[in-house]
Amino acid sequence: MSDNKLSTDSYKGVRDFYPEDMAIQRYIFQTWSKTAESFGFERYDASILEPSALYKAKGAENEEMVNEQTYTFIDRGDREVTLRPEMTPTVARMVAGQRHELTFPLRWYSIPNLFRYERPQRGRLREHWQLNCDMFGAEHAAADVEMIALAHKVLTDFGATPDMFEIKLNNRQVYSETLLHLAKSNDEEITNVQINAVIRHSDRIGKISPEEFTQGLVDIVGEKVASAIVDFIHNQGISDLPIPSRDKLISVAEGLSELGIKNVSLEPTLARGFDYYTGTIFEIFDTSDENNRALLGGGRYDNLTGMFGGEAIPGIGFGMGDVTMRDFLETHKLIPEYIRTTAPQVMVIPMETEQNLYAEGVAMKIRQAGHKVATDIGTRKVGKKIGSASDRGVQFVIVIGDEEMQNGNLTVKNLLTGEEQSGRIGKLMNFLDTK
């Protein structure tokens, strides 16, 4: 045999889901679906492969994402293909494609896996799943309020309390208008390209040093405006500035308050990394220091569907990641213990290989009554088989030896209570049901 053994590690930045991980993943997805559907959201899906053009088109473009973070390749027919790094361009494409058949306002959700070539770290991997909820065709602030209320409800449906997380709220226009005002009051000009660059740069504020942050601003808008922006961030709230869009931001915050959602803070520099956002933007953070990555991010993007032609349909939505979600649930001890138990409820244990097939028959009958049943057809001693059934959280065991096979009189033991019952298989079903 060669010494060059193949590694059992998964590819860098992606995860294998062993049964316990899978059970937790399913629990997360089921809770996501249930909450989204309770708000009347309908589920959709698409392929992980998209033509690369979708992410390069004007309106959807995001330089960092396209140039540094996508998995892009040329297929055998010379087409440029990308593994989707996010779902928003896809859902915009699907909605635009059937705009004449669909009824608006439309509420759709999906749980896609997404691929980003990022440096793997806590809360960031190269493949993650994301609950995406999006509403199209509603311009009123009530839509913005509803989307944030939905995100809030997802977390409370996991058992989270509002002190465990914080909703950060801003509005893209408010930030753009603030930048315009700061430039103007310093007798400087600022172009749209510069505004977008500042917005993207602001998205990195907690991730780089204050010096790097300021230097980045200087590179984009020069010393004078950069120092006005830094001063604004540290010393000034928007309430002092003449910002026309401020009312929109305030009405969303007030709407949330009316629905009883109070763990909201206005964040004048909250930027979000995508160029397509046009209004309300929001992120949710864990209040525990252990998790500093956003649990969720989203916002309003009123022009995105316009890139497929025709009049744009306004959209608003968010993405909530499974990696940060699991970290959040583990940190706050919100994963119920029973979720981690992946063992069957009943284990039928033959004492010798001669009873294996008989055990399979018994398992079949119990299965018909709707229980999860497996047989232990390994070659270990019966005591060891019972021990590992117990360790795995199996509730009932039925040991089958020569005698049981001959007379059909079986004994089922409840491993949690120690109770036993003997009889023919039909009679034992009731015992299994009483757990």
Q: Which stretches of 186-245 are DSSP H helices?
A: 192-202, 210-235
Taking CB under 6 A as the rule, does residue 268 contact ligand HAM? no
Q: Coil, strand, or helix at residue 367?
A: helix
Per CB under 6 A, does 298 bind ligand HAM? yes
Q: How far is the CB of 310 from ligand HAM (least distance, A)?
A: 20
Is residue 295 at the binding interface for ligand HAM, with CB under 6 A as the rule? yes
The residue at minimum Cβ distance from ligand HAM is 321
Please, which residue, 128 or 371, has the CB nearer to ligand HAM? Answer: 128
Residue 269 binds ligand HAM, judged by CB under 6 A? no
Site string for ligand HAM, 61-90 (x = CB under 6 A): -------------------------x-x--
Using rule CB under 6 A, residue 248 touches ligand HAM: no
Q: Which of 255, 279, 297, 314 binds ligand HAM (CB under 6 A)?
A: 297
Cis amide bond preceding 112, omega within 30: no
How far from chain centre, in Å, is Cα 241?
Answer: 36
Nearest to 431 by CA among 409, 413, 418: 413
Residue 151 dihedral angles phi and psi, to the nearest 5°: -60, -40
Stretch near ligand HAM under the rule CB under 6 A, chosen from 101-109, 127-135, 194-202, 345-353: 127-135
The count of other CB atoms within 10 Å of the CB of residue 276 is: 21
**Cβ–Cβ < 8 Å for 199, 271:** yes
CB closer to ligand HAM out of 255 and 321: 321
Minimum distance, C-beta of residue 243 to ligand HAM, in the bound complex (Å) = 23
Interacting span for ligand HAM (CB under 6 A) from 26-34, 195-203, 297-305, 426-434: 297-305
Q: Tell me which residue of 398, 324, 317, 413 sits closest to 361, measured CA to CA.
A: 398
Residue 295 or 373 having the CB closest to ligand HAM: 295
Q: Residue 118 interacts with ligand HAM (CB under 6 A)?
A: yes
Question: Is residue 198 near ligand HAM by the rule CB under 6 A?
Answer: no
| Rounded distance between C-alpha atoms, residue 385 and residue 349, angstroms | 7
- Name the residue nearer to ligand HAM (CB basis): 69 or 355: 69
The answer to whether 324 contacts ligand HAM (rule: CB under 6 A) is: yes
Number of shown-chain residues binding ligand HAM (CB under 6 A):
23
Residue 368, phi then psi, degrees to nearest 5? -60, -25
Whether 271 contacts 281, CB under 8 Å: yes
Instruction: Determine, following the binding rule CB under 6 A, whether residue 296 of this chain makes contact with ligand HAM.
Output: yes
Cis? peptide before 105, omega within 30° of 0 = yes
318 binds ligand HAM (CB under 6 A): yes
Residue choice 24, 28, 36, 125 for contact with ligand HAM (CB under 6 A): 125
Neighbours of 96 (CB within 10 A): 19
Considering only 323, 349, 373, 374, the residue that binds ligand HAM (CB under 6 A) is 323
Per CB under 6 A, 216 contacts ligand HAM = no
Other Cβ atoms less than 10 A from the Cβ of 417: the count is 9
What value, to the nearest 5°, has the Cα angle with vertex 272 and ends 148 and 47? Answer: 80
Three-class SS of residue 3? coil
Q: Are strands 127-136 and 106-110 parallel, antiparallel or unpaired?
A: antiparallel
**Binding stretches for ligand HAM (CB under 6 A):** 86, 88, 116, 118, 124-125, 128, 130, 132, 134, 294-299, 317-321, 323-324
